[in-house]
Structures are given as structure tokens and as C-alpha cells.
Structure 1
Amino acid sequence: MGKKTLTADPKTYPLEGVLLALESGDQISVPFFLFDKKELAVLQPGWEHWLSQTEDEAARERESLMVQTSAMQYQRERQQDYQIERMKLDMLAAATGLTSIWEVLLKPRPGVYGRRTSVMVTAQNSAIAMRMVTARYPGYAVVGVRRASN
């Protein structure tokens, strides 16, 4: 019996799924069975319609764009829902006294184009609020911090 060895040559496998483009520019293939039922309900109709249109190149490109647009819109809506829920939790934490809402005043560092601005964050104290903001806005320097909630 001959022994099979793995080589460095790329291997290809047929896969029904979605090609995700990451922020870094990399692309990964995600098979349909890894998505939950709600996500499949959004993706599956576009996939089936795309399969039925594969004979005509122009129609395939058009359907591909429609599926990509639909997936991006769904992702944006999920991100917005997440941000809204996160904001609700932050407000609830501030209302119960677990955290406070802080206004952090910022100015651009030398050589950075921008204007003075302020950012509202929820944190337990002013030091944590300053660290959170400087991590998010590295091109800016903290001018001042004030508590915006009771």
C-alpha cells in the first residue's frame, strides 16, 4: 500500500455558501450549514435565485450584486441593532448608578488635521473614560473631562 502525503498544493472543494470579505481585505468561504436559521432565511433565497440565473453571464453578475447588497444591508441592520441595544444597556447602567456618563473634550495632536470635539462615554470614573477615549481616538489629546450624568 502506498502512503499518501500532503503537499503544499492548494486543494479545491465544491462548497455552497457565502464568500465573506473581511475588513483586512481577506476573503473567507463560509458554508451555509454554519449560519443560523434567521441568517439562512436572508441568504438562501438570493443563492437559489443566483443558481437559476447562472446560464446568462450578465444576469449572474446582476444577481451576484443583488445577493451581496442584500447581505451587506442585513449586516448593517444587525450592527445598528447591536449599537442600539448597547446604548440601552449603557443608559440603564448610568440610570442605576453603576456607571456615569462622561464628556471627554479632545483636541487634535500636532500634525493631525481636525477640530476640537467632545465624546460621550459611560464609565465608572473619569480615568477610565479618558483611557477609553484615547484608545478610540489616538490622534487626539484629552483637554478635559466632566461628568454629564448624576
Structure 2
Amino acid sequence: MATEDAGIYAREFDVIDRYIQIGVASSKVLRVTFPETPEEGALSEHPVLDRLEAYLTAREEDGFDDVQVALTVPTDQRRVLESVRDVPFGKSIDMDALTRMTSGLSHEDDADLETVRTALRENPAPIFVPDHRIGNAPGATPPDVAERLRSIEGL
């Protein structure tokens, strides 16, 4: 993505029965949402949306590892979301495993578990930070979309 791509982009995807809208700035994805209608003025052409289309139609496995995401969240939550990005396409882990693999957190500490839940719920970039790959935990991806993404990945 180039810096000149800054803006709001959205495309409708029949496979999830809604739009995926991305906010991009400084060559990074800032936010991903799943609106029923896109923001006024959103453009439909962006290379990331092309990749999403290939992924959603199961034409191409894509972990989106190279998509830069601006995680403007508190440090402890950012560490959790960076760990989520380490879960590869077609794999799923539970919240306990995610907590264990996140530096500085303990799966036995209630406050740390709440940090993980909060990070997943407030994930600004679902799909690129694939919270749908974390079982038994809340995520920012709408449940029906998460179910479809898991199906695409064979989870």
C-alpha cells in the first residue's frame, strides 16, 4: 500500500452478506468494519480489498501477514493483538493459549485474562488481526462473519 492510498475503502461481499470497510493512512490499515452500507464517499478499489475478495471466495489462502496494521491501542492490548497475528491461516487456538503466548501475561491471572478479552473485543482490524481464529473468546468480528471466516479456513 502506498501513502497516497490514504482514505476509506469499502466493497460489498456477498459471501458475508455485507461490506468490508477499511480505513487506510500512512500505508497502514487503521480500522476494519463490517457495515451494511459503506460510509459516504468510500472508494471501492484498493489492492487490500482485491485480496479480501480472493480470500473470501476461497480462491487464495491469505494470512495477510504482510498487511501493515496501525495498532493504536494500549501497550498490553497491542501485545495481545500482535500475538493474534501470529496465529496462521487455518489454525485456531483458545484464549488460554493466546494468553500464554503473549509476553508478560499469565493465563492464571484474572486481570491478564480480562486484558486479552478486552483486546479481542476492541480489535480495530479484524481479519488482519484474525480474532476469528481464537476460540472461546469474544472478538470484534461480528459472529456471523467470524463463522464464515472460520469456514473458509477450515476451522
Whether these two folds match at TM > 0.5 is: no
TM-score class, shorter-chain normalisation, is under 0.3
- Normalising by structure 2, report the TM-score: 0.20
- Normalising by structure 1, report the TM-score: 0.20
The answer to which structure has the higher strand fraction is 1
The answer to which structure has the higher helix fraction is 1
Higher normalized contact order (CA 8 Å, seq sep 6+, divided by chain length): 2
